Amino acid sequence: MNDLTTIFPTPAIPLTPVLSKLPLNKKVRGKHTTASLLDAQSILHISSGRAGIALALECAKVTNADEVMIPAYHTDSMIAPVRRTGASPVFYRVKSDTDIDLADIQNKITPDTKVVLVTHYFGFMQNLIPLRKLCDTHNLILIEDCAHTFFGSLNEIAVGQIGDYAIASSMKFFPIYDGGLLVSRQHSLDGITLHSPPLTFQIKAALNILENSLKYQRFGLFGKILGGLLFIKSILWQAKKSISNNKRSSADIGPASADGGYGLDEHWIHKFVSWPSNKIIARTDSQELVRKRRENYKEIVTALIGLPGCRPLHPMLPDGAVPMVCPIYVDNPQKHFTKLKLLGVPIWRFGEYLDPEIDETLCKNSVELSAHIFQFPCHQELLSDELDWMIQTIKTQFEQ
């Protein structure tokens, strides 16, 4: 576990995608061979993935009399939308490779069970056909949490195709500041009312996208001009906060998800994604995104296989998988986490803090995954020298 008293430096390379060039081209058109949640019949571009879960639960008419089944390996952003409805979360087991424990789900179904939420972890889709049959038998709503799997397929079944609803976190796959999806291949989403975010947030989103790019020197000499704009942004933002005295800060500033938090902001559940983020998604070459992520993943896995003290959770990359990150099982996380972070290596720790109800009796695998899985970036915006540096730094640390 990480030392809460340690202040870590900003990662030396970007943890998530950053904008490498301005999206001045027209919307990317043409046939894409990789399945995507954008292929669904009903699509809403919203503020975040957790807002998508909240909206899906609204569509399912979940109340405080219901139970919602959630994987024991989770983050609070998956639980908060359930608690918002007053429903009771019921945690089910996952296997050591993060696949669902179907038998445990079946054993925990009660007359009050209404929804099953299932997660495709790290960009690797699960076989949901047996779960779909189980949900149909018991008249349950199935929500696919595709926060890690915006793209992909398994056995020619596209991501998000099995669930009644599917949600995504666009921020994990595109160089944007905010954004998520709620989609359905089976139900209309026309009854959901959404509102545009405030102009102040639209401006903040655009400037933060540029700021993150400049932090990692993506615009060269042109960045000096943009740096002046960001300086003005900082002054105006501080002035705005002083004038407003922090009133309605959540409503004006933005959802916690945009800044890496796990909270669910009520004000942002029924909001569209910001205009800058939406335009970047529309102008992204999805095929290049998929190609680079798969290429980077394979390079990381190839370099780390056989390294003492760690192993890739998924050493093989299936044809249809589009990884969000490269998950590595670390034998001694206490020894390596702080050292790697202090060196500037970007690491995610999905499920690092589980619900207090989760212990080894409820799900030993979730407790183990929570403690031992490091996730390293493999996104499409990593430069070759950045990827080389990260791999070499990781290897040096584990070879000590």
| The pLDDT value given to residue 26 | 58
Backbone angles phi, psi at 332, to 5 degrees: -125, 80
Which residues, in sequence order, are CB contacts of 9 under 8 Å at separation 6+?
341, 342, 344
User: 66: how many CB neighbours lie within 10 A of its CB?
Assistant: 19
Q: What are phi and psi of 280, to 5 degrees?
A: -65, -40
Q: Which domains does the chain have, with CATH numbers?
A: 286-399 (3.90.1150.10)
Mean pLDDT of 288-304: 97
SS3 45: strand
What pTM was estimated for this model as a whole? 0.91
Give the integer Cα–Cα distance in Å for 78 and 63: 17
Measure the CA–CA gap between 307 and 347, rounded to whole angstroms: 18
Average pLDDT across the chain, whole number: 90
- Percentage of the chain beyond pLDDT 70 is 88
pLDDT at residue 3 above 60?
A: no
Tokens 């490091």 — which residue? 374
Residue 382, pLDDT score: 97
